[in-house]
Amino acid sequence: MDSDAQWAEGARQFQQLWGDSWNKLLQSMPPADLGAMTAMMQPHNQLSVSPEKFTELQQNFLKEMQLLIASSVQESGKPLTDRRFTGDGWSKNPVATSIASAYMLQSKTLMGMVDAVQADEKTKARIRFGVEQWVAAMSPSNFLAFNADAQKMAVETQGESIAKGMANLLHDMRQGHISMTDESQFEVGRNVATTEGAVVFENDYFQLLEYKPLTAKVYERPFLLVPPCINKFYILDLQPENSLIRHLVAEGHRTFVVSWRNPDESMAQRTWDEYIQNAVIKAIETVQDISGAEQINTLGFCVGGTMLVNALGVLQARGESPVASATLLTALVDFTDTGILDVFIDENFVRYREMQMGHGGLMKGQDLASTFSFLRPNDLVWNYVVGNYLKGETPPAFDLLYWNSDSTNLPGPWYAWYLRNFYLENNLPKPGGVTVCGEQLDLSEVNLPMYIYGSREDHIVPIQGAYASTQVFPGKKRFVMGASGHIAGVINPPAKKKRSYWVQPQTKFPSSFDDWLASATEHPGSWWTDWSEWLGGHGGKQIAAPKTYGKGTKYKAQEPAPGSYVKQKA
């Protein structure tokens, strides 16, 4: 075959590789959501790749493949840099090394095709996300026939690893999700969520937990935490040494926490308005009633922060000001920058969800958990497929991953309204842009001190999205950026002396996050120390700590913390 024919054959194979990859990607989507997802990813205009860029990719692919074939024998012992292929089984097996190297080259070429697509940024982001999913799924490490490490382990254990892997697979099929940790090692209330307290109020939406003081005196203003209702509150109370709740109690704050009910079919009709009025506002009023305080301090984490802001807007519109300060942790108020989750959001997708569950139904917790896991497919999906099933390993006990697997449902009307008004139309920061509990919200009138925290590597609430809240509220604000991601950045107790945080001394906030960062100063350790000092300044005077939970017979202790709602399974 002459060189021109070889080139033509190479081009044909490359185009077939791309076409087959795209078709398999679409076929691999879950059947229940295939219509919505394909509609979502359908470009408005014909996609194209510049001929010059296409030719460059072809040339690079063929050149690197030739080099790979030529060097496969000489460099069979060369370690691979991708951690999926770092075991001895890969590096000491020439065939396995060649397979892994070819996969990495093909992956790089496919991603190069994505980068070369001529389209708007959102369309390119969607294509990139889809191709990344397929590339991650098709790694040779995910298949026993190609995974040299798993084969080596099977030989060494005389097949025991395969038997254990099958048992792990059957176990996970029965429980309905991939095991990320040894869940048998944890029990809510026994070795996670163990800070001492009691349930002092409950309704259909939440239980209100009050925690036992650890100091003789407490601040006169009690503190209420509103966690996200898309997962369980005990991420803030995993172990005593990393519990934000215990930290608050030890700092002298009379602490209350909303523990959300895990919705079942009886709550399938519940709306966003009902959650704001009957849960967040009700929790604020109940803490006031129990403590007798004119004002309380509050915190909203993630979606809990968005809900808290809605409640503050409703109360402001009603002429009420029961909240002295608010802390927002990795929370979105302005949804202009929603990071990787933006690939899911457009009119077609939101309308599909509205038709599916906007008037009733449940957004299943496992579907939500799977979506978040596939945002990092190699770390949170395929890593466990390989370890649990191909190698027959039991994942180590890890409290955070136990919490991550303890999913919660959402009422369909709540979820559909949230998608349209916030993620799609970004109505919340617009004065009068959204009506909640019969009130038109204008957050520019919500004037109270705020502590706003964002995590630098957060892929769910990008740091720019967290910072955008500084442009919405008129009151005195403090913005802090912590290192790491959505959870690890928040759960960073001072005693660990890990990571760092950034603050800047100015009280005015430029519109650009980059401009803020340019004048910010890095400090070693946890942002909790900075926040504790700020929060103490809003706690009021010191008073004697209460001797009992709740207040009288109306708010008496009903059961020990963490209560029964948090133990309900989706």
Q: Which two tokens stand for residue 37?
A: 């997802």
Rounded Cα gap, residues 365 and 448, in angstroms: 34
**List of residues 6+ apart from 418 with CB closer than 8 A:** 272, 303
At residue 79, the pLDDT reads: 67
Rounded Cα gap, residues 85 and 97, in angstroms: 8
Q: Which two tokens stand for residue 47?
A: 């996609």
Instruction: Tell me the three state secondary structure of residue 499.
Output: coil
**Pick the residue with more confidence: 550 or 57?**
550
Binning pLDDT at 50, 70 and 90, where does residue 72 land?
low
At residue 7, the pLDDT reads: 38
Instruction: Tell me the three state secondary structure of residue 192.
Output: strand
Is 437 known to be catalytic? Answer: no
Tell me the average pLDDT of the chain: 90
Rounded Cα gap, residues 455 and 466, in angstroms: 8
Amino acid at 472: V
- Could you please state the CATH topology (level 3) that the domain comprising 197-340+424-567 is classified under: Rossmann fold (3.40.50)
Does the N-terminal peptide bond of residue 322 adopt cis geometry, omega within 30 degrees of 0? no
Q: Which two tokens stand for residue 165?
A: 């892997």
At residue 447, the pLDDT reads: 97
Rounded Cα gap, residues 270 and 263, in angstroms: 9
Question: What percent of the chain shows pLDDT beyond 90?
Answer: 76
Taking a C-beta distance cutoff of 8 angstroms, is the pair 228, 198 a contact? no
Rounded Cα gap, residues 381 and 436, in angstroms: 38
Domain ranges of the chain: 3-152, 197-340+424-567
Strand pairing report for 439-440 and 450-455? unpaired
Question: Which residue shows structure tokens 């503050």?
Answer: 312
At residue 547, the pLDDT reads: 95
pLDDT tops 60 at residue 487:
yes
- Write out pLDDT tens, residues 415-447: 999 999 999 999 999 999 999 999 999 999 999
Identify the burial level of 190 via C-beta atoms within 10 angstroms of its C-beta, where 0-12 means exposed, 13-18 middle and 19 or more buried. exposed
Rounded Cα gap, residues 416 and 357, in angstroms: 7
Binning pLDDT at 50, 70 and 90, where does residue 75 land?
low
Question: What percent of the chain shows pLDDT beyond 70?
Answer: 91
State the DSSP string of 130-171.
HHHHHHHHT-GGGSTTT-HHHHHHHHHTTTHHHHHHHHHHHH
Per-residue pLDDT, averaged over 312-324, amounts to 98
Q: Which of 131, 249, 302, 386 is catalytic?
A: 302
Q: How far apart are the first and last CA of the chain?
A: 62
Least confident of 42-46, 49-53, 468-472, 494-498: 42-46
The pTM for the full model equals 0.89
- Write out pLDDT tens, residues 504-554: 987 789 999 999 999 999 999 999 999 999 999 999 999 999 999 999 999
Least confident of 15-19, 45-49, 374-378, 535-539: 15-19
What burial letters (b/e) apply to 433-454, b meaning 16+ CB within 10 Å? Answer: ebebbebebbbeebebbbbbbb
Among residues 471, 476, 468, which one has the least CA distance to residue 447?
476
Distance of CA 108 to the CA centre of its chain: 27
Q: What are the respective helix, strand and coil percentages of the chain, to the nearest 5?
A: 50, 15, 35
DSSP summary character for residue 264: -
